[in-house]
Amino acid sequence: MRKTIISFIAVFMIGFVLGFFAHPVLARNYDVQVEVNDQLVTFDEKPYIEKMTGRTYVPIRFIAEKLGANVDWDQETKTVTIFNGSDSICLQIGSQVPTINNIAMAQQLDAPARLDNKRTYVPLRFVSEVLGQNVLWDKYNRLVRISDKPFVVTEKLSEEQKKRLMSYPYPVVLAEDNYGSQEVGETYKIDQKMVERKEYRNSKGITDEEILAKIREPIELLNVLKPNQEFITDVDLNYYIYHPVGPIRTRGILQTYEPDGTITEQDIEFGFGYGQRFVAEGEPRDPNHWFEEYDTKPLSKPKVVGKK
C-alpha cells in the first residue's frame, strides 16, 4: 500500500512539473495580428492570445509607439505605468487589480500584466479602451482592430468603396463553365462594362432608381440573402458579360449580422440570368423571367466592421 502511495505521488509530481513547464507554451496562440487605424502593425516580439482567458497580449512597447502613450517601468515593484495626458494606468505584474488615476479598480482583471523573457506584456483591449481607443475582434482574419475613431458600418457606398469594388478583375472562364466558346483562364467577353451599362440605360430614359430596383429584383425574388443579411450596391457596379450562368452581374458589399452581435462586411459579386428557356420545337415557351440558377463570387474575405 505504501509503495502504491509513493508511486502515485511520484507520478503526480512528474505530471505537475511537466504540466507547469508546458503550460506557458500550450496556453498561448500566436496566430493573431493587430491593426491600428487600418494599418497592420509589425512586432519585434509577437503578440499572443492567452487561451484560458481569450485575451490578447501585446508588448508594452506597442502601447508607447503605436497608441502614443508614455510608459514607465518600476523594477522594484514590477509595475508598469502608462501615461496618456493627465491620465495614468498602473499594472503590476501578476496583479489583477489595476490602478487608474491612483484609484484601484473595483472589478478585477482576468488578464493581468505578465513578464515573458524579460519583456512586459499587457492585455490589449483593456489598455486600449482605457486610452480611449475603439477595439474590435475580427475572428475571420484573427485580427484585433484598434481605431481612434468609431468603427463605421456601411449604409451607402462611398466613392472609395466603389473604386475598390471596381478594381477587382472581371471573371475568367473556369473549366466547369467552359462551353468551348472561350479558353479556360480567359476573361469572359464583356458586352457592357461597369458604368457603361448604367449610362446606356440612362440614355434609354431609365432612371438610376429604376435601374437599382431592377438590380435588386432577382436578389429578392430568389431569396439570395439570409434574414440576417443585407446587400449594399450602386448602379455603377452593374455590368453584362457572356457568362453561362449569371451574365447580368452586380458587385457590392454583403453585410451579415452575426449571432454574437458583430457585423461583418464582405465584397461580393452576384450574377443572374433573365430570359426564356430553350424548348423543343413546337413546345410553348415560358414568359421572360429570372432564372433560378445564379452565380455568387466572393471578392474578399469577410471582415468584422462593428457591433450592434
Task: Report pLDDT for 163.
Answer: 97
pLDDT digits (tens, 9 = 90+) for 98-107: 999 989 988 7
Q: Which residues pair with 135 in a beta bridge?
A: 146
pTM, two decimals, is 0.80
- All 3 cell numbers of residue 195? 458604368
Q: How many C-beta atoms lie closer than 10 Å to residue 61's C-beta? A: 14
- 32 and 41 in contact (C-beta within 8 Å)? no
- 69 and 81 in contact (C-beta within 8 Å)? no
Task: Report pLDDT for 56.
Answer: 95
Query: Can you tell me whether residue 168 is helix, strand or coil?
Result: coil
Q: How many C-beta atoms lie closer than 10 Å to residue 97's C-beta? A: 14
Task: Report pLDDT for 116.
Answer: 86
Task: Report pLDDT for 117.
Answer: 83
Cα gap 193→296, rounded to integer Å: 18
- Which are the contacts of 50, defined by CB distance < 8 A and separation ≥ 6? 27, 28, 56, 57, 111
- Which are the contacts of 105, defined by CB distance < 8 A and separation ≥ 6? 97, 98, 99
Cα gap 12→123, rounded to integer Å: 33
Task: Report pLDDT for 175.
Answer: 64
Task: Report pLDDT for 178.
Answer: 57
Q: Enter the CATH code of domain 24-147.
A: 3.30.457.10
Task: Report pLDDT for 280.
Answer: 59
In the predicted model, residues of the chain with pLDDT beneath 70 are 1-26, 175-181, 276-288
Spatial CA neighbour of 129 closest among 145, 106, 143: 145
The residue extents of the domains of the chain are: 24-147, 159-307
